[in-house]
Structure 1
Amino acid sequence: MDLKGMNQDPIDVNGVFKSKAMFEHSLKRSKSIVDSVSCTNPYLGLRNARMDFKNPYLLCSYYELIVLAIMQLLLKYAYSQEFKYAKFTIGYVMKVPSGSGKVSYTIGSAIILNDSSGKAHPNITIYEQIQNFLKVKAENYEGLFLSGVYIRVYSIDMVVKELDLTSDVIDSQIWDLLKTGVAGGIPQEVQTIAGGKRRSYTNYITAIKLLIKEIKSFIVDDIKTILINSIHKPYAAGFVVVEQGIDIDSLKDSKFKTFFSKNCYHFMPAFEDRSNRTMFGFLESLENVDNIIGSLAELAKNLCPHLGVKGSIQHDKLRVSMLQNQRDQLLDYMRQDIRLLAGVVIKAQEIYWTDTT
């Protein structure tokens, strides 16, 4: 199938389809390369939905087709459900350039499905966040192919409703979401398939007006993984709440909330299940965390050298069978990473408030 020109023709410079005809044209192309769609629920609180493509696979650069695939998965397997709170991550199944192997990995941080009122409605903000992630990958992996995409939905109190949604219903929902952009109006939420009211949103980000200059407490976290079949699998996670005025040097171990996969061994012998449970327990305890970007070792060295140096683990040599014997060492390593990150954020806050006061 000829996909040439797909990055320029169907959408304008703002990432909005120029017309419904262009939108339907892209949908037709998107559907023609789908091989299969599947959904699993490994345990309560986690839902995985996946779309596999036909060979020859889809180029990473055709992000406007990929965003349609992600939206289709969300509408069919996430927005059609009821839950108290949920977030999702996007994953790529990439064809390895040399050889016949494939690599699965998450392409960005989690996106929250609930809006500010606690409701979950498809909205233009979600669409734009997905699109922004995919644009970056289109640039980074130009010329490489995807054999599939998937979403992982982490939720609290989800009531699973297996609705037999037709392709036309899902397509109509996506177009309802995007058509205000074509008309130049204010982007809106669309009504969920499970029901709900529409809410309008401005098409720009408003400035945050600070009424009081007050340094607030914050949370820092860390996740440690092990390589299994070239895929990073979590074996430990943790975080700490950093209250203002706290002495990072004297943080007790009890202040760190940690999750270790081996703790579930007596009722979950399979490492994959324990890894998933570790992440779910971590996400249950930590719903909203700001992402800190940059080299932790360099930041700590420059901003808070008194806290010591970042430890090191030979991740490529770590094996599941070694986790129990190295439990204390691995948890100490993670606590030090969290301690350094907390120190970096505190120093960054001090610099910010000093310079802006």
Structure 2
Amino acid sequence: MKQKKQKCFPFIVADIETVILNNVLVPYAAGLLVVNPGDDVAAMDDQIDTYFCEDYNLIIPSLEERSTKMLVDFIERIAKLGSTHKGVKFTFRISHDSIDLMKFLASHMVEYTIKPLMRNKKLYQLSIYRKKRGNKKLVFHLRDSYTQLPNSLETLAKTLCPHLGSKGSIAHDEVQVSSLQENRAQLLDYMELDISLLGDVMLRAKSIYWTRYNVDIGVCLTLSSLAKKIYRMKYYDKNGWPIYIPSSNQDAFIRRGYYGGHADTYNPYGK
């Protein structure tokens, strides 16, 4: 595999916060940040775009409707950024609540189609399509940063960007619909810090891989695909040590020689 790219692309990091309403997770805040190679994320607090559902409470009475309006504005903003920043990749810290969030998006955002990429009940990517005249147009992909950097955001931040401080915390179980407006500043500060940390973590990880291997991790969906790309670009010697790939007929013939059997381990012990 030959090196094709001459530079790293900018990327977008984002986060969504949710609250439980009628046993369903409903998004109440969202935010995003555009990061370019070489940016100082620590000085970009004022560049984080935030959306808060209670900002719509004067015109929309229902929390679910306010949340839907907030998410539509959020996605429209991302779509606009994607059209002005060619090649931009969108990285999202998908949490353990991602399945409930996906259900909410699919059932409430009627203008869009949500297509998940999942394996073994793990969500790797959400593709967002806009419905238009019977067709679907891809707007962007939401990619989970955990598949590229498999560790907690708190640990990654301590390792890669300790100058930004530690990850904040809020009592998620105590966040109530009735207190959202009252705690607006605290909730948005918490989300903005997470976005800053994720932005700097991704920026520094991209810088490390680009400096060492000339590979932009933004083009790889998982850590294993990144490792394979680096191997094929930097270490695979096709002429000296080729990897033989059998044909379909050869593969079928070889597999007929595979049989199951016992594979037991015994640990003897005595008293």
Q: Normalising by structure 2, what TM-score?
A: 0.52
- The secondary structure found in structure 2 opposite 1:351 is helix
Q: 2:201: which partner in 1?
A: 344
Q: Is 1:329 the equivalent of 2:182?
A: no
Q: Is 1:300 the equivalent of 2:157?
A: yes
Task: Report the Cα offset of residue 218 of structure 1.
Answer: 0.8
In 2: Cα distance, 1:340 partner to 1:309 partner: 9
Q: 1:227: which partner in 2?
A: 20
In 1: Cα distance, 2:210 partner to 2:22 partner: 46
Aligned positions of 1:96-175 closer than 5 A: none
In 1: Cα distance, 2:6 partner to 2:65 partner: 45
Aligned positions of 1:210-225 closer than 5 A: 210-225=3-18
Q: 2:32: which partner in 1?
A: 239
Where structure 1 has 5 or more consecutive residues not aligned to the other structure, the ranges are 1-206
In 1: Cα distance, 2:190 partner to 2:58 partner: 25
Q: Is 1:262 the equivalent of 2:262?
A: no
Where structure 2 has 5 or more consecutive residues not aligned to the other structure, the ranges are 80-139, 215-271
Q: CA RMSD in A?
A: 1.6
Match of 1:309 among 166, 177, 180: 166
Deviations 1:184-216 (A, max 9, x none): xxxxxxxxxxxxxxxxxxxxxxx7x54233122
Q: Normalising by structure 1, what TM-score?
A: 0.40
Query: What is the percent sequence identity of the aligned residues?
Result: 43
Task: Report the Cα offset of residue 304 of structure 1.
Answer: 1.1
Identify which of structures 1 and 2 has the higher relative contact order when contacts are C-alpha pairs closer than 8 Å and 6+ apart. Answer: 2
Task: Report the Cα offset of residue 310 of structure 1.
Answer: 1.0
Counterpart residue identity of residue 70, structure 2: T
In 1: Cα distance, 2:44 partner to 2:71 partner: 24
- Report if the CA contact (8 A) 1:227-1:315 is conserved: no
In 1: Cα distance, 2:202 partner to 2:14 partner: 12
In 1: Cα distance, 2:205 partner to 2:173 partner: 32
Counterpart residue identity of residue 59, structure 2: F
Structure with more helix by fraction: 2
In 1: Cα distance, 2:157 partner to 2:25 partner: 25
In 1: Cα distance, 2:5 partner to 2:28 partner: 41
Q: 1:277: which partner in 2?
A: 69
In 2: Cα distance, 1:313 partner to 1:252 partner: 19
- The secondary structure found in structure 2 opposite 1:290 is strand
In 1: Cα distance, 2:5 partner to 2:26 partner: 42
- The secondary structure found in structure 2 opposite 1:286 is helix
- Report if the CA contact (8 A) 2:15-2:31 is conserved: yes
In 2: Cα distance, 1:215 partner to 1:243 partner: 9
In 2: Cα distance, 1:264 partner to 1:336 partner: 23
In 1: Cα distance, 2:10 partner to 2:56 partner: 31
In 1: Cα distance, 2:58 partner to 2:64 partner: 14
In 2: Cα distance, 1:216 partner to 1:268 partner: 38
Counterpart residue identity of residue 39, structure 2: I
Q: 1:78: which partner in 2?
A: none
In 2: Cα distance, 1:345 partner to 1:228 partner: 32
